[in-house]
């Protein structure tokens, strides 16, 4: 399971939302061997006054927060971050200097999904990659 939050300036997210969504999901599928139909993303557009960051990041500065089950290897997470930077540059035209990514992992016991604790779910894909 991976839930993605994407924060950015309202104008930038409106312009890049589709390309960002596709780039993020493709990177997750490749790096975590994630099923195509499991896309969970939320875009949080912010007014300029509500999004304070260093000027050198530029108007397309974007923060991506990924919350997922624990169990992925360090290598899989490195591949995910590398894929995100490359795909976002290629598909959305946003320079990696303007993107920040954080990954937060939690035990399945901390997730409630489809009326169950995630430890009781049959996922249909492996978390241990």
Category of 124 on φ-ψ map: left (φ > 0), alpha (ψ -120 to 50) or beta: left
Q: Using one digit for the tens of pLDDT, what is the confidence trace for 49-68?
A: 999 999 999 999 999 999 99
CATH at residue 19 = 3.30.429.10
Helix ranges restricted to H, 1-129: 10-32, 74-87
The answer to whether the beta carbons of residues 98 and 61 sit under 8 Å apart is yes
Tell me the C-alpha distance between 26 and 34, whole Å: 9
> pTM value?
0.92
Specify if 129 maps to a domain.
no
Q: Which domain holds residue 90?
A: 2-120
Q: How many domains does the chain have?
A: 1
Specify if 128 maps to a domain.
no
Specify if 52 maps to a domain.
yes
Tell me the C-alpha distance between 118 and 109, whole Å: 6
Q: Is the pLDDT of residue 125 over 80?
A: no
Specify if 67 maps to a domain.
yes
Q: Using one digit for the tens of pLDDT, what is the confidence trace for 9-53?
A: 999 999 999 999 999 999 999 999 988 999 999 999 999 999 999
Specify if 125 maps to a domain.
no
Tell me the C-alpha distance between 31 and 79, whole Å: 6
| Residues near 1 by beta carbon (within 8 Å), at least 6 away in sequence | 38, 40, 68, 69, 108, 111, 113, 118, 123
- Computed over every residue of the chain, the mean pLDDT equals 94
Specify if 95 maps to a domain.
yes
Q: Is the pLDDT of residue 103 over 80?
A: yes
Specify if 126 maps to a domain.
no
Q: Is the pLDDT of residue 126 over 80?
A: no
Q: Is the pLDDT of residue 90 over 80?
A: yes
């Amino acid at each position: 399971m991976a839930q993605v939050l994407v924060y950015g300036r309202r104008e930038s997210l409106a312009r890049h939302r589709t390309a960002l969504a596709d780039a993020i999901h493709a990177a997750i599928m490749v790096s975590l061997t994630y099923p195509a139909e499991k896309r969970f993303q939320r875009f949080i557009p912010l007014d300029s006054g509500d999004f304070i960051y260093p000027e050198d990041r530029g108007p397309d500065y974007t923060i991506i927060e990924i919350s997922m089950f624990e169990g992925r290897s360090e290598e899989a997470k490195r591949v995910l971050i590398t894929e995100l930077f490359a795909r976002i540059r290629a598909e959305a035209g946003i320079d990696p200097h303007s993107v920040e990514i954080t990954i937060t992992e939690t035990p399945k016991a901390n997730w409630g999904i489809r009326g169950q604790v995630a430890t009781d779910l049959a996922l249909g894909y492996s978390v241990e990659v």
